[in-house]
Structure 1
Amino acid sequence: MAKRVLPGLLLSLALALPAAADPMLKGFDYDWPVQQAKIRSQDQDLTMAYLDVRPAKANGQVVALLHGKNFCAGSWEGAIKALTAAGYRVIAPDQIGFCKSAKPERYQYGLHTLAANTKSLLDQLGVTRPIVVGHSMGGMLAARYALQYPDAVERLVLVNPIGLEDWRALGVPNATVDQLFAGELKQDAAKIRAYQKATYYAGTWKPEYDRWVEMLASMYQGEGGRTVAWHQALTSDMVFNQPVVHELQNLKVSTTLFVGEKDNTAIGKDRAPEALKATLGDYKRLGPEAAAKIPGAQLITYPDLGHTPQVQDPERFHRDLLGALAAR
């Protein structure tokens, strides 16, 4: 009688295969054709991967979806399907340094730079005033984009954005890029899965979540994994040192904030003193505090969901997202 192989073991075995290991995610397909744009940034020509998905019946509006640090353009697949079905054209880039986009040997990361790269892409596509939706680090980036280009944003949607508290100012010790790099080199599927279960899905797990573990973990495999780990370290440094919380009151666009209240994301939490650690990443508190700072913001909360409500309960989230966009 054949022995049953557990799904988690299958995932671990799959990630160990050289064919699945690629820092440019060549072995991981998105649900739509990936296109490449040329952008000029920091005195070099770079390629920026993106999805441009058009609806069968257009409503004339464009949504730009900005992914989080441990996510990619393809991670938005549920939202892309829901938005295009409702008539929205959707553009979802992979930011420079992530997923299927260029990972240059030298690059100084800043949210303002990623915002400029995104603006360059949208300009090339003739998109002048999109609805900008950002999740996690992408929420930080979306806020920076709206602050940087207030006349080029129709609406702003932030989904469990990080940067709603200033970790360094609160007392979390900084870390050098070398220290962050050493930590990134230790990443594997098991660690990624454990972190996502505790933070993204409020301690729950479904088999469909394994796909996103595979996507992320595959980039760390093989020789190219050092390149991915280096860029992940650089962007961790960026996120830690560039919180947006101090500027939320300066947003001038209509904003909706979605918050899964069981989220506990806080970059650098593992370095914090125990007493401080217990207070960080409290989205049940951070969500209302952030909404109060943003002029006229709408707050939609999910008491039972974690960091990724769009994945954990897609039907509920997409219904609420489309409702918020319709109620202009």
Structure 2
Amino acid sequence: MTKAAIIGSGNIGSDLMLKILRLSGTLQVGAMVGIDPGSDGLARARRLGIPVTAGGVDGLIGLPGFDEIEVVFDATSAKAHRVNAARLEPYGKVLVDLTPAAIGPFVVPAVNLHRHARARNVNMVTCGGQATIPIVAAISQVTHVHYAEIVASIASRSAGPGTRANIDEFTETTAKAIEVVGGADRGKAIIVLNPAEPPMIMRDTVLCLTGDADPASIRASIETMAADVAGYVPGYRLKQAVQITPVDPGEPLTTLVGDARPVWKVATFLEVEGAAHYLPAYAGNLDIMTSAALRTGELLTAGIVA
């Protein structure tokens, strides 16, 4: 078993801890790290017999057994990850970054994990990115994507202090990853914190302006990709049939695509239900991040990705 440390004892870190304990056949939680001695995440880890520290990254480095830890998951914030990565850099650990810091390459397991098998610090983009970039990438496999816009709607209750503090980073990081990983010429990202009660589960809309291709091929590529993501995020699914409509020749799109003339408008509607390991099922935005991080950590440390 490969030992892993989790920095961040909040919602995301706690959910990831339980996922590793319940689902992973290759990873073992070797340390839970926080900065609040009274946090529920640290208390739960103690009850489970996991070594803990409230001393942050320096407390982790000082823990007995630190040398045995091979992978560190960072579930703090973009600002904190920059500090944590710098402190851990001399120790040669694999870092899986669940913040929007984007120091290392963007990774979406179903799309491009194989390209970054040797990276020492990989970035999991954002919850919206993990949900929507696979769809953009699936369309890019079939035809040119001139423009891709995503809207991630999550329950306000599932957006903790870390999420709210990183809203700007969310939109910037997700938009960039839509281009770098998804293959779109231009990407745009919007996040909506929905205050509805009872809380809604995560919903995502992906709108792409594309080149010419057989609509059946576009739909088939999207459906195959959705099944791949559902392999590690069981609550991930298409909400309804993919909608493909022709672009009107007179439709004003220059502000989005310049002089290009897209042929199709492709609209994909997604739903992500959480597994409720630590948080309610409506928190699919957190579940897809921890599920993707778990898959990434397992494959990178097991040497499966070639």
TM-score normalized by the length of structure 1: 0.34
Q: TM-score, normalised by structure 2?
A: 0.36
